[in-house]
Structure formats: C-alpha cells, structure tokens
Amino acid sequence: MSLLWAFIVGGLLCVIGQLFIDLTKYTVTPGHILVGYITIGAFLSALGLYQPLVDFAGAGATIPLSGFGHNLAQGTLEAVQTKGVLGIFSGGVEAAAAGITAAIVFGYLAAILFNPK
C-alpha cells in the first residue's frame, strides 16, 4: 500500500512541476523547478503542512526535491530548539548533510568516469 501512495503522491508532485513548465512557455528551466521545489518545500514544512504528506506517502513526498526542503526546515527547527542561535545556521545543513555530500561526490566521480555522449 505504501508503494501505491508513494507512486501517486510522487507522480502528482511531478505533474505540478510539469504544468509550470508547459504553462510558462518553457521559460521555467530545470534549475528554476529545483530551486522552487526546495524553497516551497521548506516553507510548507515550517508551517507544518509537509509532515502529514510524508507520513502518508513516504518516499512519494521525500524523494521529490520538496522533501529535501522539508529536511532542511525540520532540521533547522529542531536545532533551534536545542541549540538556540547556533541552530539557525547549523540545523538545516546537518539534516541534509548526507544528501549534499553524496550529490557532490557522486557528481564528481561520475564526471571523472564518464564522458557526455
């Protein structure tokens, strides 16, 4: 069942992005979409609106980049509570550290190993 909901919610989140591209005459590029999703995901999460979606759809909500924003936001909120001002700056990156490092290191490795075709 969790697989089905992951499929449906993940798919729907992608459809919203597709509508942005198609309805804006392709002025919205992948870069815009990624920035938009991470930012909106973070703010929705801070307002408490994203967690229910994660509880419901699991990877369907965390794999889209809005889930990355959700991670940043929740990490920051928790860290502020435990560390105060320091948490404002450290919480987000701490929560997303694995993803960021993986993206950059795997990106680097892939660039070394492969050539564009």
Partner 1 sequence: MTPDSNEERKKIEEQEYQQLVEQVRPRPNILLNCIWAFIIGGLICTLGQLILDYFRAQGMSMEDAGAMTAVSMIFLGALLTGLGWYDELGKKAGAGSIIPITGFANAIVASAMEYKREGYIFGVGARIFSIAGPTLLFGFVAAVIIGLVKYLTMLW
Partner 2 sequence: MLSGKKRGLQSIEFLQAPIISSSASVAGPLESKSSWAEDFDWIMEDYLLGESSWERTETKVLQQVIQIALDKQQLSFEDIEVFLAGDLLDQIISSNYTARELKTPFLGLYGACSTMAEAILIGAMLVEGGFFTRLVAAAGSHHYTAERQFRFPTEQGVQPAPYSQWTATAAGALVLEAQGNGPRVSSITIGRIVDMNQKDANNLGAAMAPAAADTIHRHFLDLNRDSDYYDLVVTGDLGLVGQDLLEELFVQQGVVPKPNISDCGVLLYDGIPEVNAGGSGCGCSACMLCGPLLKKMYRGDLQRLLFVATGALMSPTSTNQGESIPGIAHAVAIEI
Site for partner 2 in 8-37 (CB under 8 A): 21, 25-27, 29-30
CB of 97 to partner 1, least distance (A): 8
| Residue 102 DSSP label | H
Could you tell me if 90 and 78 are in contact, meaning their C-beta atoms sit under 8 angstroms apart?
no
Nearer to partner 2, 27 or 82 (CB): 27
SS3 call for 11: helix
Report the interhelical angle of 30-46 vs 65-83 (nearest 10°).
40
CB of 83 to partner 2, least distance (A): 38
Contacting partner 2 (CB under 8 A), which of 23, 55, 113, 117? 117
Nearer to partner 2, 26 or 85 (CB): 26
Number of neighbours of residue 25 by Cβ within 10 angstroms: 7
Q: How far apart are CA 95 and CA 68, in angstroms?
A: 9
Q: By CB under 8 A, is residue 63 in contact with partner 2?
A: no
User: Which residues, 43 to 72, sit near partner 1 by CB under 8 A?
Assistant: 43, 46, 57-60, 62-69, 71-72
Q: How far apart are CA 78 and CA 62, in angstroms?
A: 18
Q: By CB under 8 A, is residue 27 in contact with partner 1?
A: no
Using CB under 8 A as the criterion, which residues of the chain lie in contact with partner 2 when the complex forms? 21, 25-27, 29-30, 116-117
